[in-house]
Structure formats: structure tokens, C-alpha cells
């Protein structure tokens, strides 16, 4: 028979080969626990021998599952593809979903947000993962109203009702600033992330706490706002130098902003670390390739992605079990910049 005429094996063929009913085969395919181990093994063997592939559309009618997950990144596309933070978390998400047969739908701008809303209304995704959340984001509230399983990277505030995964941001910042203090630095500035993001507020809190516990006054003039971009880091560093020419250390809330700070310090004739010590946050590939190599707070980004995927799969499989919060530890990696 020509290859084009070969018929795909059917559910009935699998049932006949396994010696069970069609319903039993359907329950095995859809992951139902109401099947004996003997029958499950017979069905799985028949599927393997026949090369049976379940019809995704028919299966979704029975299970109301689409086997697809939306990954929402509400930041600029340039950041999505240029910053290690996003790529490492996405790598972890992909690894976490790999064994579950889930498709990943990426939504990253206003137009795709609108498309995602229509997908949600039509129940075309089983769950949502969301990165880089800001305090004013309304999409998480909409997801909660629709009872769509959702897991965030980070949180909007300390009262976040949705499941989320984050690093110990305040603790990591405290360790970074303590390290600078222990090396004798006292005029320590900081470059924050956007303060409408909980992650940036937590890192600023950690900076302040480390200074206070050491008896060093917290000065507004040593705090400059950034936006997690290299250019934002340069602009904030320029402002710090203008306000406090005597500063001798800087804690930047991301490696990318620290890389901008290095460029601005060099342009101003300041040596790192001799004149100004510098610590970043993320311990990304950027930290290892800056000159000098950057002391940085390591957050386990790929593990964050895997954990997000795991929490979401659990919410999809066991709806109504409540949202979970996971905080992963950070670690200071000391290099030449501090």
C-alpha cells in the first residue's frame, strides 16, 4: 500500500490490541487514576506497538485541556531578547514543561496582550506564566477573575494573592552592602530598578537595612533610580557622581545596570574598584564579562523558571488547591569589582 494511504491507528485498534474497552484506553491517555496498573501497562504497550498518537483536538473536548501555556512578558521586546534575566528564566520554564507535552505561547506587547485576552475568554490556554510584573499590572487580576491557573515571576506587592516564585531580593541586597561595608566603604550609593516593581523595592529595602544595622546614615542623595537597562545604569551613575563626587561604592540592582555604571565611571576617570567598588545583582553572563569582572548577587534564574513551570502544572492538575509562594536563596559571588 502506498505510504499516502497508510491509515493512522485508531483508539479502537489500541483497545483491541490491549484487550480492554475503548473507555479504558481513553482514561489511560487522559491520565485518569481510575485504571488498574495491569490495564494501564497493556494500553501503554499497545500504544507503543501501534505508534498511536492521540488526536489533540478530540482529547481537548473530553478533558477541556488545550496542552498550552501562555508566557507573558510585559516589557519591551529589546529587553526580552537582550537581557540574560529573561533568557535564563525562559530556559528554565522550557525545561520544566518539556516532559508535560505543553506548548508555549509567548505574549510580549499590547497587541499580543489583546490576543491573549481572547485566548483566555475562549479557554484556549490551560495556564499563564507572567514575568516582570509591575504594581499597576491588571492582567493578573483578570486571570484571577477567570480562575486561570497563574504563576508569576516575582510579585506585585507583599499582598500578592497569586502563586509566585522569587529570589530573596532583600536578603541578597543586604549581603551585597554588608560586603562593601566590610571592605571599609562608607559613601555607598545604589542604583535601583523601577520602583513600581516589588523586586526593585525589596532590593532597595535590603540596601537601607544593611546601612542602618551598621550605623551608617541612609542618604537620599546616594539613591538614584534606574530601569534595569544599561543606559539607565549610566544615567543613574552620572547622577550619583554629580550629587556625591566622594562616593566610594555602588550597589546596582542588576548586572546590566552595573555594566552601564562601569562605563560611566570610566568616562569620569574613576577606577573600579580602587576609587569606586561596584556590586551588581543576578550573577549573569554580563557579570563575568565586564572589565573588571563584577561582584554580583547570584539568583538561580533557571531554577526559578523550572519552579514556576512546576507550580503551574500542579495548579492545572489540581485546581482549587490554593496558590503557593516560593522564595529561592541568593548568594554573593565575589570578583574583582569589589
The CATH number of the domain holding residue 100 is 3.40.50.2300
Is residue 337 in some structural domain? no
Is residue 237 in some structural domain? yes
Same domain, 76 and 182: no
Is residue 334 in some structural domain? no
Q: What pLDDT was estimated at residue 51?
A: 76
> Residue 117 class from Cβ within 10 Å (0-12 exposed, 13-18 middle, 19+ buried)?
middle
pLDDT-derived band at 247, boundaries 50, 70, 90: very high
Q: What pLDDT was estimated at residue 213?
A: 96
Position 270 pLDDT exceeds 50: yes
Position 330 pLDDT exceeds 90: yes
Q: What pLDDT was estimated at residue 4?
A: 42
Mean of the pLDDT values across residues 15-27? 85
Q: What pLDDT was estimated at residue 315?
A: 87
Is residue 338 in some structural domain? no
pLDDT-derived band at 24, boundaries 50, 70, 90: confident
Same domain, 176 and 294: yes
Same domain, 293 and 324: no
Residues whose CB falls within 8 Å of the CB of residue 246, separated by 6 or more in sequence, listed in order: 187
- Lowest-confidence segment of 54-68, 192-206, 230-244, 256-270 by average pLDDT: 54-68
Same domain, 29 and 141: no
Q: What pLDDT was estimated at residue 62?
A: 44
Q: What pLDDT was estimated at residue 66?
A: 65
Averaged pLDDT score across all residues of the chain: 85
pLDDT-derived band at 68, boundaries 50, 70, 90: confident
Rank 58-67, 80-89, 96-105, 172-181 by mean pLDDT and report only the highest.
Answer: 172-181
Same domain, 244 and 321: no
Is residue 318 in some structural domain? yes
Same domain, 273 and 237: yes
Indicate the residue among 13, 38, 63 that finishes a domain: 63
Position 158 pLDDT exceeds 70: yes
pLDDT-derived band at 32, boundaries 50, 70, 90: low
Same domain, 142 and 178: no
Here the CATH number for the domain that contains residue 28 is 1.10.260.40
Same domain, 284 and 245: yes
Same domain, 95 and 175: no
Domain with 115, as residue range(s), is 68-167+302-328
Is residue 333 in some structural domain? no
Share of the chain above pLDDT 70, in %: 83
Same domain, 182 and 209: yes
Output DSSP code: residue 153. Answer: E
**Number of structural domains found in the chain:** 3
Is residue 140 in some structural domain? yes
Is residue 335 in some structural domain? no
Residue with cell 537582550: 82
Same domain, 38 and 101: no
Q: What pLDDT was estimated at residue 31?
A: 61
* 3-class DSSP state of 101: coil
Q: What pLDDT was estimated at residue 109?
A: 57
pLDDT-derived band at 116, boundaries 50, 70, 90: low
pLDDT-derived band at 3, boundaries 50, 70, 90: very low
Residue with cell 522569587: 166
pLDDT-derived band at 219, boundaries 50, 70, 90: very high
Each residue's pLDDT tens digit, 192-208: 999 999 999 999 999 99
Residues whose CB falls within 8 Å of the CB of residue 327, separated by 6 or more in sequence, listed in order: 166, 167, 168
Same domain, 154 and 173: no
Indicate the residue among 39, 63, 87 that finishes a domain: 63
pLDDT-derived band at 122, boundaries 50, 70, 90: low
Mark out the alpha helices in the chain (DSSP H runs): 11-18, 22-29, 37-50, 56-63, 77-82, 84-98, 110-121, 139-145, 169-182, 198-213, 230-243, 255-267, 285-289, 301-317
Q: What pLDDT was estimated at residue 58?
A: 47
Mean of the pLDDT values across residues 68-94? 78
Q: What pLDDT was estimated at residue 55?
A: 55
Amino acid at each position: 500500500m502506498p505510504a499516502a494511504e497508510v491509515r493512522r491507528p485508531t483508539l479502537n485498534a489500541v483497545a483491541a490490541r490491549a484487550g480492554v474497552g475503548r473507555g479504558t484506553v481513553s482514561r489511560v491517555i487522559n491520565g485518569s487514576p481510575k485504571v488498574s496498573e495491569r490495564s494501564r501497562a497493556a494500553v501503554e504497550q499497545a500504544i507503543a506497538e501501534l505508534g498511536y498518537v492521540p488526536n489533540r483536538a478530540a482529547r481537548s473536548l473530553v478533558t477541556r485541556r488545550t496542552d498550552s501555556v501562555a508566557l507573558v512578558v510585559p516589557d519591551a521586546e529589546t529587553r526580552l531578547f537582550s537581557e540574560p534575566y529573561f533568557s535564563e528564566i525562559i530556559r528554565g520554564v522550557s525545561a520544566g514543561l518539556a516532559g508535560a507535552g505543553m506548548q508555549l505561547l509567548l505574549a510580549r506587547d499590547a497587541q499580543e496582550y489583546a490576543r491573549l485576552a481572547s485566548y483566555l475568554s475562549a479557554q484556549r490556554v490551560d495556564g499563564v506564566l507572567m514575568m516582570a510584573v509591575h504594581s499597576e499590572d491588571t492582567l493578573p487580576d483578570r486571570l484571577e477573575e477567570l480562575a486561570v491557573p497563574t504563576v508569576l515571576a516575582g510579585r506585585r506587592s507583599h499582598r500578592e494573592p497569586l502563586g509566585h516564585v522569587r529570589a530573596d531580593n532583600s536578603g541578597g541586597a543586604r549581603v551585597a552592602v554588608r560586603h562593601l561595608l566590610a571592605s571599609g566603604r562608607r559613601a555607598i550609593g545604589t542604583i535601583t530598578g523601577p520602583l513600581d516593581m516589588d523586586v526593585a523595592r525589596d532590593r532597595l529595602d535590603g540596601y537601607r537595612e544593611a546601612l542602618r544595622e551598621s550605623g551608617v546614615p541612609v542618604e537620599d542623595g546616594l539613591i538614584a533610580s534606574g530601569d534595569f537597562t544599561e543606559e539607565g545604569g549610566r544615567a543613574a551613575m552620572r547622577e550619583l557622581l554629580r550629587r556625591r563626587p566622594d562616593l566610594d561604592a555602588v550597589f546596582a540592582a542588576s548586572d546590566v545596570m552595573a555594566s552601564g555604571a562601569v562605563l560611566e565611571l570610566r568616562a569620569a576617570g574613576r577606577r573600579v574598584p580602587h576609587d569606586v567598588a561596584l556590586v551588581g545583582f543576578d550573577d549573569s553572563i554580563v557579570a563575568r564579562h565586564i572589565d573588571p569582572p563584577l561582584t554580583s548577587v547570584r539568583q538561580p534564574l533557571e531554577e526559578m523558571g523550572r519552579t514556576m513551570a512546576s507550580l503551574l502544572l500542579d495548579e492545572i492538575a489540581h485546581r482549587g488547591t490554593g496558590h503557593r509562594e516560593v522564595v529561592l536563596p541568593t548568594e554573593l559571588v565575589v570578583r574583582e569589582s569589589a
